[in-house]
Each structure stands twice: as C-alpha cells, then as structure tokens.
Structure 1
Amino acid sequence: MRHIELNNEITQMADGFYQLEKDQEALQEFLKEARENTLPFSNVRERIAYMMEQDYYYNVLQEYSLEEIEEVYATTYEENFQFQSYMAVSKFYKDYALKTNDGKQYLESYEERIAIVSLYLGRGNAEKAKKYAQQMIKQNYQPATPTFLNAGRSRRGEMVSCFLLEMDDSLNSIGFNINTAMQLSKIGGGVNQ
C-alpha cells in the first residue's frame, strides 16, 4: 500500500525539512485505491435500490420520493468536496464509509454518507435534509461520531455515545448495571454512573 509508505515519508528529513508534501501524495494514492475498491453505481436510483435490497440502508423511500432523494445527493455532489489530508481520507474510509458484508468493497463516498445521514435526520422533510447536507458538506456542521456512523443504516448501533445509569446499593441493581454497561459498551456506548 503505497499511501502508507508515502505517509511515513512525511517525517523523514530532506534538505533539513520534513517532507510535508508527501501528505498530499499519500492522500491522492489513498483516493485512487478507494475508488478502485468502491462498488460502482450508475445513478442514485440504482444506489438506493441496491442499498435497500441488500439491507444496508433503512427504507428511505417510505419518507421521501426518489426525486427528493436525488436532490439531497445532488446537494452533496455539487460542492466538489476534497479531503485536505491523508489522515482525514483514511479515517473516513476505514471507520465511517459503509462496506460490503465481506469488508472488501466500499459502498459510499463522503458525499454519499452525508446524503444518507441528512435524509435520516430530516425525517421525511426534504428541505431540512438538504439543509443538513449543505451544512455537513461545507463542514459547518458535523453530527456526533455515532450519529454520522449509524444514521441511515438498517443494521446499526446507537446514535448516541454516552449513557447515564443510576444504581442503588443492592446486589440486583449492581448486577443489572454491570450487565447494562457491558451491553452498551458492546454497541459503542460510553457509560457514566
């Protein structure tokens, strides 16, 4: 993986300077690899149909018309978003982009993740979904990590990251709270008592 090698070269001195330009080279190399490993769709209609049929996305067509969905996707595509660093692009694709069940192909770009998150948060209100999409693609607004990761997915974890548990001084309460904390941790939640 050439992008990892390029990223490592950043800290190697050349003529007394760090090679900061290697970050942009690593970024471009990673994007090339990501594009080669992304399942292609010819249009939004095909994407939505596949993602719902394969149980990757919730049934977004129950809340929006196809035309409204296409408008939200167009909102994200029109911005021509560009990742600014290797770490940003690698973090998105490794941790946030939806992948096929076998983990071998990406199913989403950054724009497409924003579109489905916006549609989910819009709850059937196309104008609200477009506003979310505009703010996210311009990086004026970023939902909390669990929301950005899980919104719009049919098989998902929680969309909040912290839970408050109350406990009294009995064995039943202590045991219940320990089990609850373990279950919440399993789905990515943090617990405060």
Structure 2
Amino acid sequence: MATTTAERITAAVDFHALNAMLNLYDSEGRIPFEKDRQAVEAFMATQVQPNALTFPSQEDKLSWLVSEGYYDPQVLAGYDRGFVLALFAHARRAPFRFQTFLGAWKFYTSYALKTFDGKHYLEDFAERSVMVALTLARGDEQQARQLTEEILSGRFQPATPTFLNAGKQQRGELISCFLLRIEDNMESIGRAVNSALQLSKRGGGVAFLLSNLREAGAPIKRIENQSSGVVPVMKMLEDAFSYANQLGARQGAGAVWLHVHPSRYFTLS
C-alpha cells in the first residue's frame, strides 16, 4: 500500500519535519498541533537525552560543575546545601513540559549550559530555572523558592541575559539594555563603537542617540561640506554589533535614535 509524504516523514521521526507539518491542514481544515508535540518528543529523545551528561546524584553534579568552572561557587555558597539540593529535587518534580518544539529547540540551542566543547548538555530547564532563582534571590531561601515556582509555572520569564547567564562562571552580564548618547566629536564616536563591542560581548542590547551629530554636508572648522552625517556612524555601529557576540550564544543587537534633525531623508542599504 502506498504511503503519503506526511506518513513517511512521521515514520522517520524527523523533528524538523514534524514541526513543519503545522503548515499542513487536515481534511477538515484543522492545524495538526499534535505534530508539534511529537516534534518535541522526537527532539528530546534523539538530540537531548543521548547528549546529556548524567551523574550519580545532584550533589555529585553540582560539585563537578563548580570544580570544572561551569557554575559560580559564590551563588551556591550563599545557601545551605540541603536547601539547594531540595530545591533542585522540587524543581525536577514540577510538571513542566515544553509546549512547542520551538521552545525546546531554542532552550537547548541557546540557554542550556553545555560542555566547553559544545557536545553535551549539562542542564535541563528545571536546573537552569533553579540556578537563575538562586542567583537573583541572593541567599533568600523563600525568594529563591518563589522565583523557581514562578519560572517553572510560566508566570515569570527572565530576560535573555539573565536567564542565559545567571549562576554561570563563564558568563556575560545580567542586564538586557543599555542607552547611550553620542556627542558631535571623534572621541565620542570612537567611545561609542567600543561601547557597542564591549556591551554586545557581555550580552546587552545597545541603543545610541545620534541627534547631537551634525548633518551631512555641515561645515567643520568653518570649512563647508565636510561632515559625513549620521549614516557612516550608523554603519560603524552595525559592523560592531555584527562582529561581537557573547561566546556564540547570541548575536549583538543595537538601535539608533534620531530626533527631528537637519539631515535630509536618506535610504539605508
């Protein structure tokens, strides 16, 4: 008996293909959401579980992660060890499940702690949530427990730099956004490019106010038609954002703001 393309894809347990089948409607015009759930199961079974390092106990795992330079020992030292182990056990019992394939794929691609060679996973979502909660609570056991509950329930999701970096030894900052102003001189422009590199390296998004820069064609030291305007500065910032990333975890992200300005309308290419 002949099989359809959809049936052959399902048989191969291709999680990408299962996820793509959300674009196919059944005979009654309904979206097959169960295919996305199957994609999550296939992804976890074929990509995550075989590549996850296992340990005899949570205590052994935490000790190894600290000694090998993965977890920040100062975060864990702020709590009683028994509380930390109990919180990890509580989080693991929570009924958390990834609701979509995209959510699971994004977490294990970008957020989960991996070995330095990138080949093995060292965390699941529950463990990442606990480390974030322990970091943010700063020794307050009640707050750490509450934050863990809020994250696992989906009521609270920390911003990317916080969820990505909290509790790790090799990390960027926990702050999402930086707002800076560029003045109309070479020194300020140079500092801005360096700031774009450094802040992007640390995982922050950066926005610059360019309104103080003179327009293209404005005089410099009384010599007419010398200023290059704001677009070349924007291009330098774009290059900086494109170049810097946080250990490959996320690309740099930037924005520029320009209030009412003498510059004529221009087209970015």
For Structure 1 versus Structure 2, the TM-score category normalised by the shorter chain is: over 0.9
1:64 to 79, 85, 89: 79
Secondary structure at the counterpart of residue 181 of structure 2: coil
Structure 1 residues 80-112: Cα deviation after superposition (integer angstroms, max 9, x where no partner): 211111111111111111111111111101000
Structure 2: any 5+ residue segments left out of the alignment?
1-12, 209-269
Secondary structure at the counterpart of residue 191 of structure 1: strand
Distance in 2 (CA, whole Å) between partners of 1:156 and 1:115 is: 17
Structure 1: any 5+ residue segments left out of the alignment?
none
Q: Is the 8 A contact 1:71 1:130 kept in 2?
A: no
Instruction: Kindly provide the amino acid, as one letter, of the partner of residue 5 in structure 1.
Output: A
Secondary structure at the counterpart of residue 206 of structure 2: strand
Q: Which has the higher contact order (CA 8 A, sep 6+)?
A: 1
**Residue aligning to 2:16:** 4
Bigger Rg, structure 1 or 2? 2
Instruction: Kindly provide the amino acid, as one letter, of the partner of residue 7 in structure 1.
Output: N
Does 1:101 find its partner at 2:113? no
> Which consecutive segments of 4 or more residues in structure 1 shift more than 4 A?
none
Distance in 2 (CA, whole Å) between partners of 1:61 and 1:25 is: 36
Distance in 2 (CA, whole Å) between partners of 1:46 and 1:69 is: 13
- How many pairs does the alignment contain? 193
CA change 1:191–1:113 in 2 (3 A) is same
Instruction: State the identity as a percent.
Output: 38
Distance in 2 (CA, whole Å) between partners of 1:182 and 1:153 is: 21
Superposition RMSD on alpha carbons, in Å?
A: 1.6
Q: CA deviation at 1:13?
A: 4.0
Distance in 2 (CA, whole Å) between partners of 1:16 and 1:187 is: 49
Q: Is the 8 A contact 2:76 2:134 kept in 1?
A: no
User: Greater helix share, 1 or 2?
Assistant: 1
Structure 1 residues 141-165: Cα deviation after superposition (integer angstroms, max 9, x where no partner): 1111110010001100121121122
| Aligned residue runs from structure 1 range 1-193, under 5 A | 2-15=14-27, 17=29, 18-33=31-46, 34-59=48-73, 60-193=75-208
Structure 1 residues 50-100: Cα deviation after superposition (integer angstroms, max 9, x where no partner): 110111110034212210111221231221211111111111111111111
